Amino acid sequence: MAYPTGTPVKEQVLDNLKTTLELIAGGASYHTTLRGVHRLRGVNAMQLQQFPAVIIDVAGTAHDDGVNGMVSCSMDVNLVAVITDRTDPAQELEWLAADIKRALLIDVTRGGAAVDTKFVSDDIQISDDVTSVAAVQVQARVRFRHLYADPNTSI
């Protein structure tokens, strides 16, 4: 049997998350305009050059081999939104968390690759006065399914 070609469903979901978050722009629908959305690949908040920004970090993916050749997956994703505004960071972070949730709720199926997207938690972290960075971590859980023999085919 030849190995399947294409993009794994998990990557399709993560690509959709990134693309969706990149559309956050202040105006009638959002409070904030994001200056960057990054997958966590050795990037941390202190290395970012433009703010506000979001770092997408996969916290883990659970797999359940189901019936009929299907695998059900549940992926926890930490969306770490970082700002440098020290005027009212708590308010800015609350607005940013709300913007992230609003954007992701527009299509909970992640472009048809997922069953649903739900929010697990959010947590604001404001640093001391030494650094100007503050962050909110929004944790989302995305459930998706793929064929047992083909992790690139969503079902």
In a domain, 16, yes or no: yes
In a domain, 2, yes or no: no
Can you give the pLDDT at residue 66? 76
Can you give the pLDDT at residue 45? 59
In a domain, 82, yes or no: yes
Can you give the pLDDT at residue 62? 97
Tell me the whole-structure pTM to 2 decimals. 0.91
| CATH assignment at residue 110 | 3.30.70.1700
Can you give the pLDDT at residue 2? 56
In a domain, 113, yes or no: yes
pLDDT means per 10 residues, the chain with 155 residues, are: 77 98 94 92 68 94 89 97 85 95 98 98 84 90 95 93
Can you give the pLDDT at residue 126? 85
Number of domains in the chain: 1
- Determine the structural domain holding residue 111 and report its residue range: 9-154
In a domain, 54, yes or no: yes
Can you give the pLDDT at residue 42? 60
Question: Dihedral through CA 81, CA 145, CA 9, CA 63, nearest 10?
Answer: 70
| Residues 119, 122: Cα–Cα separation, whole Å | 8
